[in-house]
Chains A and B, each alone.
Chain A
């Protein structure tokens, strides 16, 4: 069974930093691209970042460029999201999501990031 388990979400003050982790199991981790998708309370999903399976090509939504970094460690079946200079508008549940056929086919349970003073 495919599983993605996120961790690292917590409360942080504006301007702070946080690193989210996601460990995958039940599939050949290094053969899939991965994404982070967030969902603010009462809102729809928002795609945040993508990392390819082999050459680690990355993409970001404009609002996080220069502040967030996605990277992966295929030996540990893990993908990470380093978040710096956090803002209140980054408050959301962050999901780790597998990419298959250019769609988001398996989602983790999510981890809550709250940015507030």
Chain B
């Protein structure tokens, strides 16, 4: 199974900050890689797919990048509604797997 390791586990940030989180895969991925946002009591929400393609309706302050085994999610200009937990996910091979999450907290 492909393991996904997210870092950091927690980020303390302020409104307006630029926040970058990473996800490292245990083997190289072919592009089937996505990021999700989850708020308490809600289902996860797709933000980015195919590493860097923004899902419809997602603000442009979110961006994804990377290749091979190393991927990033960046939020440019953190907004109050962005405080949440973010998960990476791969669909390169079955079983599909998720990282353990990065929680973005208010400083």
Report the separation of the CA atoms of residues A47 and B99 in the bound assembly, to the nearest whole angstrom. Answer: 11
| A66, CB-defined interface residue at 8 Å | no
Give every chain B residue within 8 A of A44 (Cβ-Cβ).
Answer: 85, 87, 98-101
Q: Is the CB of A62 within 8 A of B95?
A: yes
The stretch among A15-23, A24-32, A77-85, A96-104 that forms the contact with chain B is A96-104
Interface string of B82-107 (1 = CB under 8 A from A): 00010101010011111111000000
- Contact flag A102-B98 (CB < 8 Å), given A107-B45, A110-B43: no
Q: Is the CB of A95 within 8 A of B49?
A: no
Give every chain B residue within 8 A of A45 (Cβ-Cβ).
Answer: 36, 38, 44, 87, 89, 98
Q: Is the CB of A101 within 8 A of B49?
A: yes
Please report whether the interface of chain A is mostly helix, strand, loop or mixed according to DSSP: strand
| Total B residues in contact with A, Cβ cutoff 8 Å | 25
Give every chain A residue within 8 A of B46 (Cβ-Cβ).
Answer: 103-106
| B34, CB-defined interface residue at 8 Å | yes
- Contact flag A46-B49 (CB < 8 Å), given A104-B34, A105-B55, A107-B44: no
Interface string of A31-48 (1 = CB under 8 A from B): 000010000000011110
| A108, CB-defined interface residue at 8 Å | yes
Q: Is the CB of A102 within 8 A of B44?
A: no
| A59, CB-defined interface residue at 8 Å | yes
Give every chain B residue within 8 A of A3 (Cβ-Cβ).
Answer: none
Q: Is the CB of B89 within 8 A of A103?
A: yes
* Central interface residue in A47, A100, A110, by most chain B CB within 10 Å: A47
- Chain A nearest CB: distance from B30 CB in Å? 10
15 additional A-B residue pairs with CB within 8 Å, beyond A45-B36, A105-B55: A44-B85, A44-B100, A45-B38, A45-B89, A45-B98, A47-B95, A47-B98, A95-B43, A100-B49, A101-B49, A103-B55, A104-B44, A104-B46, A107-B44, A110-B43
